[in-house]
Structure 1
Amino acid sequence: MGLLSQGSPLSWEETQRHADHVRRHGILQFLHIYHAVKDRHKDVLKWGDEVEYMLVSFNHENRKVQLVLSGEDVLETLQEKGERTNPNHPTLWRPEYGSYMIEGTPGQPYGGTMSEFNTVEDNMRKRRKEATSVLGENQALCTITSFPRLGCPGFTLPEHKPNPKEGGASKSLFFPDEAINKHPRFATLTRNIRHRRGEKVAINVPIFKDKNTPSPFVETFPEDEEAANAAKPDHIYMDAMGFGMGNCCLQVTFQACSISEARYLYDQLATICPIVMALSAASPFYRGYVSDIDCRWGVISASVDDRTREERGLEPLKNNRFRISKSRYDSIDSYLSKCGEKYNDIDLTIDKEIYEQLLREGIDHLLAQHVAHLFIRDPLTLFEEKINLDDANESDHFENIQSTNWQTMRFKPPPPNSDIGWRVEFRPMEVQLTDFENSAYVVFVVLLTRVILSYKLDFLIPLSKVDENMKMAQKRDAVLQGMFYFRKDICKGGNAVVDSCSKAQTSSEPAAEEYTLMSIDTIINGKVQPEQALSSMGRCGLNGACAVSASWQSV
């Protein structure tokens, strides 16, 4: 979650009154950053991972496992013993949405040498050992994506009951507000999403059916009309942000050498997101039930869906400006590089005034529409002390909108007046049980970026097909049974991709024969067939390409 602003959070009504101010000054802040660093280049590879953890208590006598609501205290202790005592401490700790969660990162970013790749697992072990050392008896630090009994009676320690009728943040039937991190940002986010939407969020996950599952599987909520109307037959119903943001994930951010390289990697990795999500799938359990999905993505997307009924197309537009096709937590909606322009086949909703302003300021069409699309959203939280800012030297208003567009990939401009370069964040991975597995996924993604750049690879397919892949990736056993659209030939024939993208001809439509359905086995490991013998995918797949990259001492 990163560093959080301190101050007095505004109510939704107050935040809404300042929404245009935040958007207007957010764009000015972006423009100041862009013009200051648009020509910056030759930044070296620096990167880091983020691992989210749950604090879990084991009652062996009663065979009961609960989530421990001590995240704030654990975090305070870890920060006091670590970064506040030693600025070069090897680990950093940050808050997360759940009061039972914390987030750990390396103390300093990694570089591109093999010696640093070899330290990733060791640093993750340090984090686990460090945090475990401050826990109580029979407590553990767990890297699990979804806690199986999240939302069941008594799932927290100490136990708390939800408050659906009184003035709480979520008004959930299942998730008590005490399980939300006590920092005011989190409760404010929860409350404001509900207020903006005009009703509680509604999450429906298909139930897994075995011989003992009633058919139809129906949950009844006679005392809650909203839940009774929102719950679907044969689905597990959930009604709070905590069911999504209260899950854990694994993310990696890396610095590109220039803005053009960052845009190119953003596009290429966007096509890999559903593949790696299916590979890392680790969350079949919700509210004590076994679901018929393997990934959390759709759950977390619905858990923060603040769109009104008008924006969702359920009522005519009257009080809102746009129909919006997706939650603010979803897959990307447009490629950023010239190479990707012809594959942008999704209708993109943009704020036309912001788009025209960006064009007048010298921003190119693709980046302008990307930012104008992000800024169709309202700010969800705003602190009274952060309303009037110095746009030339601060970026809080830009980040207010940017950081609450939770997409599979995030394109990250440098912070104002810093030595940090243009970055890209890879966000779809589910966290794994062991440090070895988590480090393996992280290193694989970073090595893949080096392979993409070194071999000038091209994974681009129409973005609508990437969206179809995202849906497939969440299905049960997608990693073994699913078929995913993927490019047949990923080689660029030695062209300098990043440079050529800026000069690419974009008028031609993508040909359907450029891509086909493949299994993840074929995508990752390759499969030699006579007609594919000379194709890049036929030779080695992504796994083989990364193995080549791993043999280099520096990249």
Structure 2
Amino acid sequence: MGLLSQGSPMSWEETQRHADHVRRHGILQFLHIYHAVKDRHKDVLKWGDEVEYMLVSFDHEHKKVRLVLSGEEVLETLQEKGERSNPNHPTLWRPEYGSYMIEGTPGQPYGGTMSEFNTVEDNMRKRRKEATALLEENQALCTITSFPRLGCPGFTEPECKPNPVEAGASKSLFFPDEAINKHPRFSTLTRNIRHRRGEKVVINVPIFKDKNTPSPFIETFPEDDEAAKASKPDHIYMDAMGFGMGNCCLQVTFQACSISEARYLYDQLATICPIVMALSAASPFYRGYVSDIDCRWGVISASVDDRTREERGLEPLKNNHYRISKSRYDSIDSYLSQCGEKYNDINLTIDKEIYEQLLQEGLDHLLSQHVAHLFIRDPLTLFEEKIHLDDANESDHFENIQSTNWQTMRFKPPPPNSDIGWRVEFRPMEVQLTDFENSAYVVFVVLLTRVILSYKLDFLIPLSKVDENMKVAQKRDAVLQGMFYFRKDICKGSNAVVDGCGKAQNSTELAVDDYTLMSIDTIINGKEGVFPGLIPILNSYLENMEVDVDTRCSILNYLKLIKKRASGELMTVAKWMREFIANHPDYKQDSVVTDEMNYSLILKCNQIANELCECPELLGPAFRKAKYSGSKTDSSN
């Protein structure tokens, strides 16, 4: 969850006064890093995943499930028993936005050997078991993307009521500040986003129109003029950062061998983001309603949108410098590699002074504009103790801006004076119910990076088309119903993509007929005469690699899950959840998810995650049984 500085947080007014100082010194810090390691080569491939978890408590007697606000206490114990006692502990734990959330990663990054793929699921199981062991009776650790009744009355334990009137971080009608992690970064982010924007954030998610859903579906908020104006007919209205950042995701970070390879991977994977997001869709419910979307991305984007009315184009520019087309949480706006330059067809807003400064320091046009675009944003949090820093040896000011540009891909320079290399982070995936599924998506993406580099594949299309794909990917059942722009011949430019470190050798333009609309089934599994398919390409790669039998079996099982999700033979988590609620005996076909329905759903999710029951429509025969159960709850309690 980005930069976690300790200290005394400043108000928005105080932070704003130091904004230019942070930007100026952030650029100096970046330049120190760049000049120190720009020529660094031959870093080995390392990578790791991040899984976010929710803590829930089941009330079996009253058939309710709530989010438990004990994340900080659980995290403290996990760190005390883990990394603080043993630097080589196999798991690491970090805080997340919600006080009901924690984040787990492997203790050390995975390396470049194929056998590492066979350790991912085991490490995820260790994490689940380790954290579950600290929970109380009838509590569970869940990997669900969005809690269906987040923001409904009584959704937390202990029960906390929102306070939209008194001064607080979010002033939400639905989301209490007690549900925000107690680390000052999180409440300060929440408050300062609201203050900078000049009003509460506005999230409107289209409601799913079922047989008995009111039409038009209209909520009324007589006690709140702001909500009354912001809410839209036929939409589920939400008003706080917690509705976005309080969701869970699955992410992967890779270390490249050099800066140019990192830039190449950043670009190629950016085109894959909407495809994998739709494949991993897992969040159909918001604030107790069935929505008409399957992914959280747009919800989070709106939940941290700190742009003023001027920046959003609703008023003439007077106090602000730029019109800004997107939230700070959105898809990338420019490719970074030279072979991606000709596909940068999105109008990029940049800080021209920073851009010129970076050019004068010897950076190329593409990297200069990337950084100058990130730095049109203000810092959102600042600590009194962290204003004046040693720019040659610290990077907090750079990371202050960098880590609050939450995009589909993140290009990550090494920390100062470290042996860490240039990295890229793949960020669009929704977290899945089981360790098997989460491992499958992680292995699929990591294996894809190996194939991209080995075969010098080229997935690039105009970036505006990737943006269109992102919009399609979030729609209900996009994995089966959506059509996505994708490059037809990904090998055509293979001799033009990289010379080993990402330099373009060929500047021929991509013709319009070189990409076309495809289904995810075609992209993943292939279609004769249209596209070879990513899974067949990965299988071909595996056939040419020396892989032990167990690892090969694991990888093929993972790829089988991805293949069947893409074809529709297996459901996405989002579709499975929809069908579960639709078939619940209490469901009235009115798009409402009641407490009891939510209880039944999350209980079932927990049973599936801990292998206490089968779920063939979600997992299929590829699912391997585990040797243990990490559950502390059962409906018979």
TM-score, with length taken from structure 1: 0.97
Residue 287 of structure 2 corresponds to: 287
2:15 maps to a residue whose letter is T
Residues 281-320 of structure 1: pairs in structure 2 closer than 5 A? 281-320=281-320
1:338, 1:504 within 8 Å by CA — same for their partners in 2? no
Given the alignment of the two structures, is residue 495 of structure 1 paired with residue 495 of structure 2, yes or no? yes
The DSSP-based 3-state class of the residue aligned with 1:491 is coil
2:408, 2:428 within 8 Å by CA — same for their partners in 1? yes
1:256, 1:421 within 8 Å by CA — same for their partners in 2? yes
Offset at residue 287 of structure 1 (A): 0.1
- Which whole-Å deviations, capped at 9, do the CAs of 1:309-355 have from their partners, x for residues lacking one? 00000000000000000000000000001100010000000000000
Residues 442-521 of structure 1: pairs in structure 2 closer than 5 A? 442-492=442-492, 494-495=494-495, 497-499=497-499, 501-506=502-507, 509-521=509-521
Residue 377 of structure 1 corresponds to: 377
Residues 207-222 of structure 1: pairs in structure 2 closer than 5 A? 207-222=207-222
Residues 167-186 of structure 1: pairs in structure 2 closer than 5 A? 167-186=167-186
Residue 92 of structure 2 corresponds to: 92
The DSSP-based 3-state class of the residue aligned with 2:125 is helix
Offset at residue 509 of structure 1 (A): 4.3
Offset at residue 544 of structure 1 (A): 1.5
- Which whole-Å deviations, capped at 9, do the CAs of 1:228-255 have from their partners, x for residues lacking one? 0000000000000000000000000010
- Separation in structure 1 between the aligned mates of residue 546 and residue 408 of structure 2, nearest angstrom: 30
Residues 366-405 of structure 1: pairs in structure 2 closer than 5 A? 366-405=366-405
Offset at residue 496 of structure 1 (A): 6.4
Residues 103-502 of structure 1: pairs in structure 2 closer than 5 A? 103-492=103-492, 494-495=494-495, 497-499=497-499, 501-502=502-503
2:3, 2:400 within 8 Å by CA — same for their partners in 1? no
Offset at residue 504 of structure 1 (A): 3.9
Q: Pick from 510, 531, 546 the counterpart of residue 538 of structure 2.
A: 546
- Separation in structure 2 between the aligned mates of residue 393 and residue 523 of structure 1, nearest angstrom: 45
Distance 1:187 1:404, change over 3 A: same
- Separation in structure 1 between the aligned mates of residue 142 and residue 100 of structure 2, nearest angstrom: 11
Offset at residue 387 of structure 1 (A): 0.4
- Separation in structure 2 between the aligned mates of residue 503 and residue 517 of structure 1, nearest angstrom: 26
- Separation in structure 1 between the aligned mates of residue 542 and residue 11 of structure 2, nearest angstrom: 51
Offset at residue 114 of structure 1 (A): 2.0
Distance 1:147 1:499, change over 3 A: same
- Separation in structure 1 between the aligned mates of residue 313 and residue 429 of structure 2, nearest angstrom: 30
1:8, 1:384 within 8 Å by CA — same for their partners in 2? yes
The DSSP-based 3-state class of the residue aligned with 2:489 is coil
1:113, 1:553 within 8 Å by CA — same for their partners in 2? no
1:181 maps to a residue whose letter is N
2:496, 2:504 within 8 Å by CA — same for their partners in 1? no
Residues 61-72 of structure 1: pairs in structure 2 closer than 5 A? 61-72=61-72
1:455 maps to a residue whose letter is Y
Residues 37-48 of structure 1: pairs in structure 2 closer than 5 A? 37-48=37-48
Distance 1:2 1:202, change over 3 A: closer
Structure 2 segments unaligned to the other structure (5+ residues)? 548-637
Distance 1:3 1:306, change over 3 A: closer
Cα RMSD for the two superposed structures: 1.3
Residue 77 of structure 2 corresponds to: 77
- Separation in structure 2 between the aligned mates of residue 434 and residue 414 of structure 1, nearest angstrom: 32
Residue 554 of structure 2 corresponds to: none
1:192, 1:380 within 8 Å by CA — same for their partners in 2? yes
- Separation in structure 2 between the aligned mates of residue 151 and residue 469 of structure 1, nearest angstrom: 30
- Which whole-Å deviations, capped at 9, do the CAs of 1:278-337 have from their partners, x for residues lacking one? 000000000000000000000000000000000000000000000000000000000001
The DSSP-based 3-state class of the residue aligned with 1:127 is helix
- Separation in structure 1 between the aligned mates of residue 334 and residue 520 of structure 2, nearest angstrom: 24
Offset at residue 503 of structure 1 (A): 4.2
- Separation in structure 2 between the aligned mates of residue 202 and residue 348 of structure 1, nearest angstrom: 25
1:200, 1:239 within 8 Å by CA — same for their partners in 2? yes
Offset at residue 148 of structure 1 (A): 0.3
Given the alignment of the two structures, is residue 29 of structure 1 paired with residue 61 of structure 2, yes or no? no
2:540 maps to a residue whose letter is V
The DSSP-based 3-state class of the residue aligned with 1:475 is coil
Residue 588 of structure 2 corresponds to: none
Identity %: 89
The DSSP-based 3-state class of the residue aligned with 1:204 is strand
1:149, 1:287 within 8 Å by CA — same for their partners in 2? yes
2:539 maps to a residue whose letter is A
Offset at residue 528 of structure 1 (A): 1.1
1:322, 1:349 within 8 Å by CA — same for their partners in 2? yes
Offset at residue 505 of structure 1 (A): 5.0
2:458, 2:494 within 8 Å by CA — same for their partners in 1? no
- Separation in structure 1 between the aligned mates of residue 336 and residue 74 of structure 2, nearest angstrom: 40
1:187 maps to a residue whose letter is S
Offset at residue 498 of structure 1 (A): 2.3
The DSSP-based 3-state class of the residue aligned with 1:398 is helix
- Separation in structure 2 between the aligned mates of residue 131 and residue 6 of structure 1, nearest angstrom: 25
2:91, 2:105 within 8 Å by CA — same for their partners in 1? yes
2:534 maps to a residue whose letter is L
- Separation in structure 1 between the aligned mates of residue 468 and residue 505 of structure 2, nearest angstrom: 26
1:447, 1:549 within 8 Å by CA — same for their partners in 2? no
- Separation in structure 2 between the aligned mates of residue 214 and residue 81 of structure 1, nearest angstrom: 52
Offset at residue 128 of structure 1 (A): 0.1
- Separation in structure 2 between the aligned mates of residue 96 and residue 494 of structure 1, nearest angstrom: 40
Residue 19 of structure 1 corresponds to: 19
Distance 1:550 1:104, change over 3 A: farther
1:55, 1:140 within 8 Å by CA — same for their partners in 2? yes
Distance 1:489 1:185, change over 3 A: same
Distance 1:492 1:37, change over 3 A: farther
- Which whole-Å deviations, capped at 9, do the CAs of 1:435-485 have from their partners, x for residues lacking one? 000000001000000000111100000000000000000000000010000
1:459 maps to a residue whose letter is F
The DSSP-based 3-state class of the residue aligned with 2:499 is helix
1:2, 1:94 within 8 Å by CA — same for their partners in 2? no
1:260, 1:498 within 8 Å by CA — same for their partners in 2? no
1:311 maps to a residue whose letter is E
The DSSP-based 3-state class of the residue aligned with 2:261 is helix
2:310, 2:318 within 8 Å by CA — same for their partners in 1? yes
The DSSP-based 3-state class of the residue aligned with 2:254 is strand
TM-score, with length taken from structure 2: 0.85
2:3, 2:396 within 8 Å by CA — same for their partners in 1? no
- Separation in structure 2 between the aligned mates of residue 550 and residue 247 of structure 1, nearest angstrom: 35
Offset at residue 548 of structure 1 (A): 3.0
1:280 maps to a residue whose letter is S
- Separation in structure 1 between the aligned mates of residue 302 and residue 524 of structure 2, nearest angstrom: 30
Offset at residue 2 of structure 1 (A): 5.4
- Separation in structure 1 between the aligned mates of residue 355 and residue 14 of structure 2, nearest angstrom: 26
Structure 1 segments unaligned to the other structure (5+ residues)? none
